[in-house]
């Protein structure tokens, strides 16, 4: 679905624990994907840009950081997988809700229940002698 040629990867140093390995090896990956200039269908582009997601910049660029693995290649695959999940979540159109009216019997049941509740609460009052 996503053309790998449209994705830009930058190797960076990972954060967090890891000792000397973290300080000298650039194993983390920044993925950048320009939504506007991509080959995605227009309706998917529009829905991605309309998302209020902190990973999408004002210019319409998705920025993902992957640093779970010690391997740069594994981090690239992880970032690409997360990008594909993001696009797939937007690709599925939500079903249109058609409003319906309650049936007569459900209305009657609701009113009967309210009447019973009211009668039960009436019995909770003070006892008059």
What CATH number does the domain containing 26 carry? 3.30.160.20
Cα-based torsion angle of the residue sequence 24, 63, 39, 46 in order, rounded to the nearest 10 degrees: 180
Q: With respect to residue 111, please indicate whether it lies within any of the assigned structural domains.
A: no
**Residue span of the structural domain in which 31 resides:** 4-91
Q: How many CB atoms neighbour CB 33 within 10 A?
A: 25
Q: With respect to residue 43, please indicate whether it lies within any of the assigned structural domains.
A: yes
Local confidence band at 61 (pLDDT 50, 70, 90 cut-offs): very high
Residue 101's φ and ψ, nearest 5 degrees, are -105, 150
Averaged confidence pLDDT in the chain: 89
The C-alpha atoms of residue 128 and residue 102 are separated, in whole angstroms, by 41
Give pLDDT, residue 84. Answer: 93
pLDDT digits (tens, 9 = 90+) for 17-41: 767 776 777 888 999 999 988 888 8
If one counts the domains in the chain, the total is 1
């Amino acid at each position: 679905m996503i053309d790998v040629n449209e994705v830009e990867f930058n190797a960076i140093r990972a954060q967090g624990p890891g000792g000397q390995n973290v300080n000298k090896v650039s194993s983390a990956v920044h993925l950048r994907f320009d939504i506007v200039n991509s080959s995605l269908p227009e309706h998917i582009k529009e829905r991605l840009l309309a998302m209020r997601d902190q990973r999408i910049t004002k210019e319409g660029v998705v920025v993902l950081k992957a640093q779970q693995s010690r391997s740069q290649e594994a981090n690239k695959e992880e970032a690409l997988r997360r990008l594909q999940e993001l696009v797939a979540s937007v690709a599925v159109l939500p079903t249109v809700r058609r409003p319906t009216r309650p049936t007569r019997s459900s209305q009657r049941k609701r009113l009967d229940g309210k009447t019973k509740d009211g009668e039960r609460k009436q019995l909770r009052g003070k006892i008059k002698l």
